[in-house]
């Protein structure tokens, strides 16, 4: 693990310290978790839908004919 120095305002750090005491943890743990969450949400490469392989979700619930209105069927789903 790499040691770093981060400058934060006193009120922000005090709030981290208070919350850490409340949950019986160290402020440094909470800050590491916050950094990891930020990294996962904002910095990690996300795959495009084009990169994903298709997955089978099974067959149709009922057969359709040329006269069926598929949009209406999707919007008026009567399954339980």
Cα 41 to Cα 35: distance, rounded to the nearest angstrom: 10
Cα 56 to Cα 50: distance, rounded to the nearest angstrom: 16
Cα 13 to Cα 19: distance, rounded to the nearest angstrom: 10
H-only helix segments in the chain: 10-22, 27-38, 70-75
Q: In the prediction, which pLDDT does 73 show?
A: 66
pLDDT in tens, 23-60: 999 999 999 999 999 998 888 777 777 888 888 888 87
Q: How far is CA 62 from the centre of its chain?
A: 34
Q: What is the pTM of this model?
A: 0.53
Helix (H, G, I), strand (E, B) or coil at 6: coil
């Amino acid at each position: 693990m790499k040691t770093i120095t981060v400058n934060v305002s006193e009120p922000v750090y005090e709030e981290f310290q208070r919350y850490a005491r409340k949950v019986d943890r160290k402020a440094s743990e909470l800050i590491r978790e916050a950094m990891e969450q930020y990294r996962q949400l904002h910095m990690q490469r996300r795959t495009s839908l084009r990169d994903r392989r298709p997955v089978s979700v099974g067959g149709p619930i009922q057969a359709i004919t040329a006269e069926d209105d598929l949009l209406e069927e999707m919007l008026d789903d009567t399954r339980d």
